[in-house]
Structure 1
Protein backbone atom coordinates (compact mmCIF):
# COMPACT_ATOMS: atom_id res chain seq x y z
CA UNK A 1 0.00 0.00 0.00
CA UNK A 2 2.82 2.39 0.86
CA UNK A 3 4.50 1.64 -2.45
CA UNK A 4 1.32 2.53 -4.35
CA UNK A 5 0.95 5.80 -2.45
CA UNK A 6 4.58 6.72 -3.10
CA UNK A 7 4.33 5.86 -6.82
CA UNK A 8 1.18 7.93 -7.31
CA UNK A 9 2.62 10.80 -5.26
CA UNK A 10 5.71 10.85 -7.45
CA UNK A 11 3.51 10.64 -10.54
CA UNK A 12 1.47 13.64 -9.42
CA UNK A 13 4.64 15.55 -8.54
CA UNK A 14 6.13 14.80 -11.97
CA UNK A 15 2.96 15.95 -13.73
CA UNK A 16 2.81 19.18 -11.71
CA UNK A 17 6.46 19.81 -12.50
CA UNK A 18 5.82 19.13 -16.19
CA UNK A 19 2.91 21.57 -16.22
CA UNK A 20 4.97 24.24 -14.45
CA UNK A 21 7.86 23.87 -16.91
CA UNK A 22 5.47 23.98 -19.87
CA UNK A 23 3.75 27.07 -18.45
CA UNK A 24 7.11 28.79 -18.01
CA UNK A 25 8.20 27.81 -21.53
CA UNK A 26 5.01 29.15 -23.10
CA UNK A 27 5.03 32.42 -21.16
CA UNK A 28 8.71 33.05 -21.88
CA UNK A 29 8.14 32.41 -25.58
CA UNK A 30 10.72 29.66 -25.86
CA UNK A 31 8.23 26.93 -26.76
CA UNK A 32 5.07 26.83 -28.83
CA UNK A 33 1.75 25.66 -27.34
CA UNK A 34 1.41 22.76 -29.77
CA UNK A 35 4.77 21.31 -28.77
CA UNK A 36 3.90 21.60 -25.07
CA UNK A 37 0.57 19.85 -25.58
CA UNK A 38 2.30 17.09 -27.56
CA UNK A 39 4.87 16.57 -24.80
CA UNK A 40 2.15 16.39 -22.12
CA UNK A 41 0.14 13.96 -24.26
CA UNK A 42 3.23 11.81 -24.77
CA UNK A 43 3.92 11.72 -21.02
CA UNK A 44 0.31 10.69 -20.32
CA UNK A 45 0.56 7.98 -23.00
CA UNK A 46 3.70 6.53 -21.44
CA UNK A 47 2.17 6.64 -17.95
CA UNK A 48 -1.00 4.97 -19.24
CA UNK A 49 0.95 2.16 -20.89
CA UNK A 50 3.00 1.64 -17.71
CA UNK A 51 -0.07 1.50 -15.46
CA UNK A 52 -1.83 -0.84 -17.90
CA UNK A 53 1.08 -3.27 -17.87
CA UNK A 54 1.38 -3.19 -14.09
CA UNK A 55 -2.28 -3.47 -13.17
CA UNK A 56 -4.10 -5.38 -15.90
CA UNK A 57 -1.55 -7.99 -16.86
CA UNK A 58 -0.74 -9.58 -13.53
CA UNK A 59 0.59 -13.10 -13.75
CA UNK A 60 -1.69 -15.73 -12.31
CA UNK A 61 0.18 -18.35 -10.37
CA UNK A 62 -0.53 -22.03 -10.79
CA UNK A 63 -0.32 -22.20 -7.00
CA UNK A 64 -3.78 -20.60 -6.81
CA UNK A 65 -5.37 -23.96 -7.62
CA UNK A 66 -7.31 -25.76 -4.94
CA UNK A 67 -5.11 -28.01 -2.83
CA UNK A 68 -6.99 -31.34 -2.83
CA UNK A 69 -4.29 -32.96 -0.71
CA UNK A 70 -4.83 -30.43 2.06
CA UNK A 71 -8.58 -31.14 1.98
CA UNK A 72 -7.90 -34.83 2.51
CA UNK A 73 -5.31 -34.07 5.23
CA UNK A 74 -7.91 -32.04 7.11
CA UNK A 75 -10.36 -34.93 6.67
CA UNK A 76 -13.03 -32.67 5.16
CA UNK A 77 -15.81 -34.69 3.59
CA UNK A 78 -17.33 -33.90 0.22
CA UNK A 79 -20.53 -32.61 1.82
CA UNK A 80 -18.59 -30.45 4.29
CA UNK A 81 -16.63 -29.04 1.39
CA UNK A 82 -19.88 -28.20 -0.42
CA UNK A 83 -21.05 -26.41 2.73
CA UNK A 84 -17.74 -24.53 2.91
CA UNK A 85 -18.15 -23.41 -0.70
CA UNK A 86 -21.70 -22.25 0.04
CA UNK A 87 -20.45 -20.32 3.07
CA UNK A 88 -17.88 -18.63 0.82
CA UNK A 89 -20.76 -17.48 -1.38
CA UNK A 90 -22.24 -15.74 1.66
CA UNK A 91 -25.21 -18.05 2.12
CA UNK A 92 -26.91 -18.53 5.48
CA UNK A 93 -27.51 -21.96 7.01
CA UNK A 94 -31.10 -21.94 5.78
CA UNK A 95 -30.06 -20.98 2.25
CA UNK A 96 -27.38 -23.68 2.24
CA UNK A 97 -29.92 -26.22 3.44
CA UNK A 98 -32.30 -25.26 0.64
CA UNK A 99 -29.50 -25.36 -1.93
CA UNK A 100 -28.20 -28.79 -0.85
CA UNK A 101 -31.63 -30.25 -0.01
CA UNK A 102 -30.69 -30.91 3.61
CA UNK A 103 -32.15 -29.86 6.94
CA UNK A 104 -30.86 -26.75 8.66
CA UNK A 105 -29.67 -28.79 11.65
CA UNK A 106 -27.57 -30.97 9.33
CA UNK A 107 -25.97 -27.84 7.91
CA UNK A 108 -25.25 -26.60 11.44
CA UNK A 109 -23.53 -29.93 12.15
CA UNK A 110 -21.42 -29.64 9.00
CA UNK A 111 -20.49 -26.04 9.88
CA UNK A 112 -19.51 -27.13 13.41
CA UNK A 113 -17.37 -29.93 12.00
CA UNK A 114 -15.70 -27.49 9.60
CA UNK A 115 -14.97 -25.06 12.43
CA UNK A 116 -13.33 -27.83 14.42
CA UNK A 117 -11.33 -29.20 11.47
CA UNK A 118 -10.13 -25.73 10.46
CA UNK A 119 -9.54 -24.71 14.08
CA UNK A 120 -11.74 -21.63 13.67
CA UNK A 121 -14.19 -19.89 15.99
CA UNK A 122 -16.35 -18.17 13.38
CA UNK A 123 -17.43 -18.80 9.80
CA UNK A 124 -15.43 -15.82 8.55
CA UNK A 125 -12.32 -17.09 10.29
CA UNK A 126 -12.89 -20.53 8.74
CA UNK A 127 -13.09 -18.94 5.30
CA UNK A 128 -9.86 -17.06 5.85
CA UNK A 129 -8.09 -20.21 7.04
CA UNK A 130 -9.48 -22.18 4.08
CA UNK A 131 -8.24 -19.47 1.72
CA UNK A 132 -4.79 -19.55 3.33
CA UNK A 133 -4.71 -23.33 2.96
CA UNK A 134 -5.75 -22.82 -0.69
CA UNK A 135 -8.66 -25.20 -0.37
CA UNK A 136 -11.26 -22.66 -1.44
CA UNK A 137 -11.51 -19.62 -3.65
CA UNK A 138 -13.39 -16.71 -2.14
CA UNK A 139 -16.00 -14.71 -4.00
CA UNK A 140 -17.13 -11.16 -3.27
CA UNK A 141 -20.74 -10.27 -3.94
CA UNK A 142 -20.85 -7.16 -6.13
CA UNK A 143 -24.59 -6.98 -6.56
CA UNK A 144 -27.49 -9.41 -6.40
CA UNK A 145 -26.22 -11.51 -9.31
CA UNK A 146 -22.47 -10.91 -9.76
CA UNK A 147 -19.58 -12.54 -7.95
CA UNK A 148 -15.90 -11.72 -8.32
CA UNK A 149 -13.18 -14.28 -7.67
CA UNK A 150 -10.66 -13.11 -5.08
CA UNK A 151 -7.22 -14.59 -5.57
Structure 2
Protein backbone atom coordinates (compact mmCIF):
# COMPACT_ATOMS: atom_id res chain seq x y z
CA UNK A 1 0.00 0.00 0.00
CA UNK A 2 2.80 2.40 0.93
CA UNK A 3 4.72 1.58 -2.23
CA UNK A 4 1.71 2.42 -4.36
CA UNK A 5 1.13 5.68 -2.45
CA UNK A 6 4.79 6.66 -2.86
CA UNK A 7 4.67 5.80 -6.57
CA UNK A 8 1.56 7.93 -7.09
CA UNK A 9 3.12 10.76 -5.07
CA UNK A 10 6.27 10.61 -7.20
CA UNK A 11 4.15 10.64 -10.35
CA UNK A 12 2.25 13.73 -9.17
CA UNK A 13 5.52 15.45 -8.28
CA UNK A 14 6.90 14.63 -11.72
CA UNK A 15 3.76 15.99 -13.37
CA UNK A 16 4.02 19.17 -11.28
CA UNK A 17 7.60 19.65 -12.44
CA UNK A 18 6.53 19.05 -16.02
CA UNK A 19 3.78 21.66 -15.69
CA UNK A 20 6.25 24.15 -14.19
CA UNK A 21 8.63 23.49 -17.08
CA UNK A 22 5.77 23.97 -19.56
CA UNK A 23 4.91 27.26 -17.85
CA UNK A 24 8.52 28.42 -18.12
CA UNK A 25 8.56 27.46 -21.80
CA UNK A 26 5.35 29.37 -22.30
CA UNK A 27 6.70 32.51 -20.71
CA UNK A 28 10.17 32.40 -22.24
CA UNK A 29 9.38 31.15 -25.71
CA UNK A 30 5.92 32.68 -26.04
CA UNK A 31 4.09 29.54 -26.97
CA UNK A 32 0.64 30.10 -28.24
CA UNK A 33 -2.06 29.52 -25.63
CA UNK A 34 -3.71 26.81 -27.72
CA UNK A 35 -0.56 24.66 -27.78
CA UNK A 36 -0.07 25.13 -24.03
CA UNK A 37 -3.67 24.10 -23.28
CA UNK A 38 -3.39 21.15 -25.66
CA UNK A 39 -0.24 19.89 -23.93
CA UNK A 40 -1.89 20.08 -20.52
CA UNK A 41 -5.05 18.41 -21.83
CA UNK A 42 -3.06 15.55 -23.36
CA UNK A 43 -1.13 15.01 -20.12
CA UNK A 44 -4.24 14.92 -17.96
CA UNK A 45 -6.16 12.77 -20.45
CA UNK A 46 -3.32 10.23 -20.46
CA UNK A 47 -3.16 10.31 -16.67
CA UNK A 48 -6.93 9.85 -16.42
CA UNK A 49 -6.91 6.90 -18.81
CA UNK A 50 -4.00 5.27 -16.99
CA UNK A 51 -5.63 5.73 -13.56
CA UNK A 52 -8.97 4.51 -14.92
CA UNK A 53 -7.40 1.30 -16.16
CA UNK A 54 -5.48 0.77 -12.93
CA UNK A 55 -8.34 1.54 -10.52
CA UNK A 56 -11.26 -0.10 -12.34
CA UNK A 57 -12.01 -3.53 -10.87
CA UNK A 58 -11.82 -6.46 -13.23
CA UNK A 59 -15.08 -8.18 -14.03
CA UNK A 60 -15.55 -11.83 -13.28
CA UNK A 61 -16.52 -14.14 -16.10
CA UNK A 62 -20.28 -14.19 -16.70
CA UNK A 63 -20.53 -17.95 -16.36
CA UNK A 64 -19.68 -19.59 -13.06
CA UNK A 65 -17.64 -22.79 -13.15
CA UNK A 66 -17.65 -24.74 -9.91
CA UNK A 67 -14.24 -25.88 -8.67
CA UNK A 68 -14.67 -29.63 -8.98
CA UNK A 69 -11.14 -30.34 -7.75
CA UNK A 70 -11.88 -28.58 -4.46
CA UNK A 71 -15.15 -30.51 -4.12
CA UNK A 72 -13.31 -33.79 -4.64
CA UNK A 73 -10.43 -32.93 -2.32
CA UNK A 74 -12.80 -31.87 0.47
CA UNK A 75 -15.06 -34.88 -0.11
CA UNK A 76 -18.23 -32.82 -0.53
CA UNK A 77 -21.03 -34.96 -1.97
CA UNK A 78 -23.49 -33.78 -4.63
CA UNK A 79 -26.29 -33.60 -2.02
CA UNK A 80 -24.09 -31.53 0.28
CA UNK A 81 -23.41 -29.26 -2.69
CA UNK A 82 -27.16 -28.78 -3.14
CA UNK A 83 -27.48 -27.97 0.55
CA UNK A 84 -24.57 -25.51 0.30
CA UNK A 85 -26.24 -23.77 -2.65
CA UNK A 86 -29.44 -23.34 -0.68
CA UNK A 87 -27.49 -22.15 2.38
CA UNK A 88 -25.91 -19.46 0.21
CA UNK A 89 -29.40 -18.35 -0.83
CA UNK A 90 -30.24 -17.88 2.85
CA UNK A 91 -32.69 -20.76 3.16
CA UNK A 92 -33.51 -22.16 6.59
CA UNK A 93 -33.16 -25.87 7.38
CA UNK A 94 -36.90 -26.50 7.01
CA UNK A 95 -36.98 -24.76 3.63
CA UNK A 96 -33.97 -26.77 2.44
CA UNK A 97 -35.66 -29.97 3.64
CA UNK A 98 -38.84 -29.16 1.70
CA UNK A 99 -37.00 -28.23 -1.50
CA UNK A 100 -34.78 -31.32 -1.47
CA UNK A 101 -37.54 -33.61 -0.14
CA UNK A 102 -35.49 -34.79 2.85
CA UNK A 103 -36.01 -34.53 6.60
CA UNK A 104 -34.80 -31.51 8.60
CA UNK A 105 -32.53 -33.83 10.61
CA UNK A 106 -30.82 -34.91 7.39
CA UNK A 107 -30.31 -31.25 6.51
CA UNK A 108 -28.73 -30.68 9.94
CA UNK A 109 -26.40 -33.61 9.30
CA UNK A 110 -25.39 -32.24 5.88
CA UNK A 111 -24.82 -28.76 7.34
CA UNK A 112 -22.69 -30.17 10.17
CA UNK A 113 -20.59 -32.15 7.68
CA UNK A 114 -20.18 -29.05 5.51
CA UNK A 115 -18.98 -27.07 8.53
CA UNK A 116 -16.49 -29.82 9.32
CA UNK A 117 -15.22 -30.16 5.73
CA UNK A 118 -14.91 -26.40 5.20
CA UNK A 119 -13.47 -25.76 8.66
CA UNK A 120 -16.26 -23.33 9.51
CA UNK A 121 -18.16 -22.72 12.72
CA UNK A 122 -21.28 -21.03 11.30
CA UNK A 123 -23.22 -20.58 8.05
CA UNK A 124 -21.68 -17.24 7.16
CA UNK A 125 -18.15 -18.54 7.56
CA UNK A 126 -18.97 -21.68 5.56
CA UNK A 127 -20.40 -19.63 2.68
CA UNK A 128 -17.40 -17.28 2.70
CA UNK A 129 -14.94 -20.18 2.58
CA UNK A 130 -16.97 -21.88 -0.15
CA UNK A 131 -16.83 -18.69 -2.23
CA UNK A 132 -13.06 -18.43 -1.69
CA UNK A 133 -12.73 -21.98 -3.03
CA UNK A 134 -15.08 -21.16 -5.95
CA UNK A 135 -17.66 -23.67 -4.78
CA UNK A 136 -20.33 -20.95 -4.92
CA UNK A 137 -20.84 -18.06 -7.33
TM-score (normalised: structure 1): 0.59
* TM-fit CA distance, 1:80: 1.9
Whichever structure has more strand as a proportion of its residues is 1
RMSD across aligned positions (CA): 3.9
Alignment of 1:93 onto 2:92: yes
Contact 2:93–2:108 under 8 Å retained in 1: no
CA pair 110-98 structure 1, distance change in 2 beyond 3 A: closer
Report the equivalent of 2:33.
33
Deviates more, 1:125-134 or 1:22-31: 22-31
Q: Distance in 1 between matches of 2:19 and 2:97?
A: 61
Report the equivalent of 1:141.
none
Whichever structure has more helix as a proportion of its residues is 2
Q: Distance in 2 between matches of 1:98 and 1:17?
A: 68
Q: Distance in 2 between matches of 1:55 and 1:65?
A: 26
Q: Distance in 2 between matches of 1:10 and 1:88?
A: 45
Can you list the C-alpha shifts for 1:117-136, whole angstroms capped at 9, x where unaligned? 11222333323432443333
**Gaps (5+ residues) in structure 2?**
none
Q: Secondary structure at the match of 1:80?
A: helix
CA pair 101-36 structure 1, distance change in 2 beyond 3 A: same
Report the equivalent of 2:12.
12
* TM-fit CA distance, 1:15: 3.5
Between structure 1 and structure 2, the one with the greater Rg is 2
Q: How many residues align?
A: 134
* TM-fit CA distance, 1:100: 3.2
**Gaps (5+ residues) in structure 1?**
138-151
Report the equivalent of 1:50.
50
